[in-house]
Structure 1
Amino acid sequence: MSAATGYEHPPLEDEIDLRQYIRTLLRYWRWIVGLSIVAAVLAFAISSVLPPQYEATALVAITGPRYRMQFDARMQDVPFDPKQFTKGYAAIATGDELLTTLLEATNSGMSTGNAALSLVDLKAALDAQVIGDGNLVQLTARAGDPEEAAHLANMWAERYVTQLNMLYGQKRELSTLEAQVAQAKAAVERTDQELAQLRKEYGFGFRPSAAPDVVEPWGIVYQLQAKTRLLADYEARASKIAQLLEEARAVAQRAGGAAPAIVSGLIADMLGLGQLNTVGMPQVQISLGDLDVEASLAALVEALEAKQAATQEAIAQLQSEVTSLQAEVAARQMQLEQLLREQELNQNTYLTLANKLEETRVEVNGDIARIASRAVMPEKPSSPRRMFNTALAAVAAVIVAAFGALFAEYWRQGELRPSVVTGDASA
């Protein structure tokens, strides 16, 4: 312990003696009290000079849509939970897009004498906080005029509600669904037209008109059926011609012994069957008067051979046409089945989207966000708070002065220690 100062530094192993610090603070109490008084006076004076600021608060409730309709179980909505978007509510409220529209409205309604606000100034004057479970957002606006603060808070709340309903509501989905329903309806109409045209070309429901003055195109199915029947007729005719030709040749081999009546009967039978005079076939004229058996048989064989050749040529052409029509019918059948599947898909899509559109039209009247409480004009300014600022400045000055006193005492003790050691050594 030093006799000159009466101050002793405690060893590191010993407990700290707070009485030494208290004695130091008491020694400098005048400085501490003086500095706190000066700080309090300065804070009070500055708070009195600063212009007043007023705060107005509006509340926005986020509850989700009021109605939930479901006409079709194949297309369900995900339930809206406000808690899922809690972190984004405050960010949306202070986003540049929303604040830019608010800034334009604020500056346009401002009087001529006032300076226009900037986006930075507007952000500094606004504050958004999520309250509770995330279904309530508090919007606070600050301004130098109480009426302006309330007006700014209410305009902010209105635009914020509009923004939330546009982002999370059903109005945007309604316009999207209307466009999708229009596209689906157009697809259904297009498929119906293609099916009608294909069925007409294919032959479903379109038979040749019985009226001679009405011309309707034959479908390929009816063309195939007509060609097939014609081919069968030609094949039967070719078989009959071959049979007649064989009989005529047999009669010609024994023409010398053949009676004219037999030849006449044979020719009469063939003429009665219509095998000799056919459209597109060589014409044969045979007189049953003075019948020359050999000449008649020769003419008959020649006519039948010519008719047989023409018939075979017609059969070959018909077979080619039938084969081509069969391939075309198969292709059209595949196209028809594909269009039928596409029509069913388009109709199901259209019906599903149409039901969803009706659901959305019912739900669109229930917004997810609405103003729960509008801001009213504040009666007292929120800042500057003179008494609070004065007390805070005084407390801060006391703390700073106390640390200053302890540091000054520590510094003074450090300067006195070398002189004390020197005096003890000389003694």
Structure 2
Amino acid sequence: MEEEISLRELIEVLLKGRKLIGIITAVAVILSVVVSFMMSPVYEARATLLANPIGSKQNKEITNSNDVLDTISQYPEMTIETYKEQFLNSEVVQATIIDLDLKDSEGNPMKIRSLRDKVTLEVVDKTNLIRVFVKDEDPEVAAKIANSLSENFIKFITRMTKRKGEQAVQAINEQLEATKKMLDEEAQKKRDYLKNAKDIEELNQEIVALRDQLTVYKQNLIDTDKQIHSDLKSLEALENSGIKSTNINIGAIKAKIQLNEVQGITNTNNTNNSSDSEQDGQVNTSRPSNTQNNTGSNMTIGQEIEFDVSNSSVLEGAMLAAHRTQMETRLIQNISEKEVLEQKIEEIQNRLTELRATLATEEYKYNEVMRNYELAEQSFQAYQAKKNEAEQNVAADIGKASIIISTSAVVPDVPSSPNKILNIAIGFVLGLMIGVFVVFFKSYWENTESK
């Protein structure tokens, strides 16, 4: 059966061992006082930096050649956390050791790690402030270290950006030379093309002229085709009425008709031929020089035909026969003209097709040559601009522009450690806890032995 320990028994144990607890606590307090007075005082100097992040492409994905150029030529990206990590860079710490001629306890130059152990950095939440804490037994040395580290860090940022800028200038120069060579090659291609290529403007003008000519020919073809159909219908009507071309000799009045002049007379004028004949005594018609044979006649084109107009009905028939001959002549001419027009239209269309194909080819070549030249020129200008930007970065003192010593470290008057009151309090609490533990352990040991 387990024994139950009451609170009264615990208190009785503590009361019986109160002397031992007091002695142990007193010893702990005395030791903490001794240690506090034996420890060398350590002073803490503090400097504050105001840092501005640099780098215009933060968190931006590089997607094209312009972004690549920007990445090459821009300042290295620096955030507040980057500043904090770079503050204790070996180059910065070593420069501070040299500037202040810091020595260790043996008189040798201080190690970089030893100096780093003296420094603590803190970024103030939601600000661009970086606090630099430096601890040292000498308050003046602590202040000098804090200020020297801050100044050397600013110089380090400037040197780093200059090195980055010099590398960028070198890289851009290499690309600039390659781009310049490409631009010269494209410029030579452009000159060669413009020297040997067909003039696009002349091709366009020729195409426009041929289109206009084709329009005229097509309209003439339409008109000719209409005239052919009209003559065919008229001839069909005359054929149905029994009017045929024939030689007619009438005794009283003779009229001379030059059949080679009939072509100039229209259908409207032909309806008035009888009255014109009575006034003038002759009708002039125009025909080609070849011979035209008509049904029921052996009339030769260009010959003179004599008509006897003593009988009006005979005269009317003769005039209708002459009119039919005129239409037949015109029909033959129109058919020939139609064939010529169709042939010319086909030739012009073929020429237009050829010219359009040539124009399309020349425009494609021209656009390709110009596009390649413009791209090469744009690339060269872009690299030239980025080179100037990188050279400006090299010349700029970016360290002083991006980092400002907001508060310089001053020599501290009061040591930050040891804290004697705190040490005594810690010694008291620690001694009290040890004393209580010893008393309980002693009571437990005695009780177990008696049983």
* Counterpart-to-counterpart distance in 1, 2:55 and 2:18: 67
SS at match of 2:414: coil
User: Is the 8 Å Cα contact of residues 97 and 109 (structure 2) preserved in structure 1?
Assistant: no
1:93 aligns to what?
A: 87
2:27 aligns to what?
A: 38
- Give 1:115-126 correspondences, 5 Å limit: 115-126=108-119
User: Is the 8 Å Cα contact of residues 187 and 346 (structure 1) preserved in structure 2?
Assistant: no
Is it true that 1:27 corresponds to 2:30 in the alignment? no
- The code of the aligned residue for 1:22 comes to I
Cα offsets for 1:149-204 (capped at 9, x unmatched): 0001111222334445666xx6555434433443344234323444566677x486
Structure 1 residue 390 displacement after superposition:
1.9
Is it true that 1:139 corresponds to 2:132 in the alignment? yes
Cα offsets for 1:318-346 (capped at 9, x unmatched): xxxxxxxxxxxx9xx99x99886554333
TM-score (norm 2): 0.49
- The code of the aligned residue for 2:52 comes to T
Among candidates 378, 389, 400, match of residue 348 of structure 1: 378
SS at match of 2:8: helix
- The code of the aligned residue for 1:182 comes to N
Structure 1 residue 114 displacement after superposition:
4.4
* Counterpart-to-counterpart distance in 2, 1:79 and 1:110: 36
Aligned pair in 2 of structure 1 residues 52, 404: CA closer, same or farther (>3 Å)? same
- The code of the aligned residue for 1:175 comes to E
Among candidates 46, 49, 54, match of residue 43 of structure 2: 54
SS at match of 1:139: strand
Aligned pair in 2 of structure 1 residues 162, 340: CA closer, same or farther (>3 Å)? farther
Aligned pair in 2 of structure 1 residues 121, 111: CA closer, same or farther (>3 Å)? closer
Aligned pair in 2 of structure 1 residues 136, 199: CA closer, same or farther (>3 Å)? closer
Among candidates 408, 415, 421, match of residue 381 of structure 1: 415
User: Is the 8 Å Cα contact of residues 174 and 357 (structure 1) preserved in structure 2?
Assistant: no
1:130 aligns to what?
A: 123
Aligned pair in 2 of structure 1 residues 67, 376: CA closer, same or farther (>3 Å)? farther
Structure 1 residue 396 displacement after superposition:
0.9
1:175 aligns to what?
A: 166
Percentage of matched positions with identical amino acids: 21
Where does the alignment leave 5 or more consecutive residues of structure 1 unmatched?
Answer: 1-8, 206-220, 223-329, 419-427
- The code of the aligned residue for 1:405 comes to V
2:178 aligns to what?
A: 187
- The code of the aligned residue for 2:173 comes to A
User: Is the 8 Å Cα contact of residues 184 and 349 (structure 1) preserved in structure 2?
Assistant: no
> Which stretch of structure 1 is more off in the superposition, 354-363 or 49-58?
354-363
* Counterpart-to-counterpart distance in 2, 1:113 and 1:410: 53
Larger Rg: 2
- The code of the aligned residue for 1:415 comes to E
1:154 aligns to what?
A: 147
Aligned pair in 2 of structure 1 residues 40, 138: CA closer, same or farther (>3 Å)? same
TM-score (norm 1): 0.51
Where does the alignment leave 5 or more consecutive residues of structure 2 unmatched?
Answer: 58-64, 198-360
Is it true that 1:402 corresponds to 2:436 in the alignment? yes
- The code of the aligned residue for 2:112 comes to L
Structure 1 residue 28 displacement after superposition:
1.6
* Counterpart-to-counterpart distance in 2, 1:353 and 1:198: 22
* Counterpart-to-counterpart distance in 1, 2:41 and 2:108: 18
* Counterpart-to-counterpart distance in 2, 1:358 and 1:79: 13
- Give 1:194-213 correspondences, 5 Å limit: 194-195=185-186, 202=192
> Which stretch of structure 1 is more off in the superposition, 90-99 or 372-381?
90-99
SS at match of 2:413: coil
Is it true that 1:412 corresponds to 2:403 in the alignment? no
Aligned pair in 2 of structure 1 residues 181, 337: CA closer, same or farther (>3 Å)? farther
Structure 1 residue 54 displacement after superposition:
0.9
2:355 aligns to what?
A: none
User: Is the 8 Å Cα contact of residues 31 and 401 (structure 1) preserved in structure 2?
Assistant: yes
CA RMSD between the two structures:
4.3
* Counterpart-to-counterpart distance in 2, 1:51 and 1:112: 14
- The code of the aligned residue for 1:152 comes to I
1:320 aligns to what?
A: none
User: Is the 8 Å Cα contact of residues 165 and 368 (structure 1) preserved in structure 2?
Assistant: no
Cα offsets for 1:233-279 (capped at 9, x unmatched): xxxxxxxxxxxxxxxxxxxxxxxxxxxxxxxxxxxxxxxxxxxxxxx
* Counterpart-to-counterpart distance in 2, 1:54 and 1:179: 48
* Counterpart-to-counterpart distance in 2, 1:412 and 1:97: 65
Aligned pair in 2 of structure 1 residues 347, 411: CA closer, same or farther (>3 Å)? farther
User: Is the 8 Å Cα contact of residues 180 and 353 (structure 1) preserved in structure 2?
Assistant: no
User: Is the 8 Å Cα contact of residues 154 and 374 (structure 1) preserved in structure 2?
Assistant: yes
Structure 1 residue 142 displacement after superposition:
1.2
* Counterpart-to-counterpart distance in 1, 2:150 and 2:382: 37
User: Is the 8 Å Cα contact of residues 64 and 367 (structure 1) preserved in structure 2?
Assistant: no
Cα offsets for 1:118-137 (capped at 9, x unmatched): 23322321212222126222
1:369 aligns to what?
A: 403
User: Is the 8 Å Cα contact of residues 45 and 142 (structure 2) preserved in structure 1?
Assistant: yes
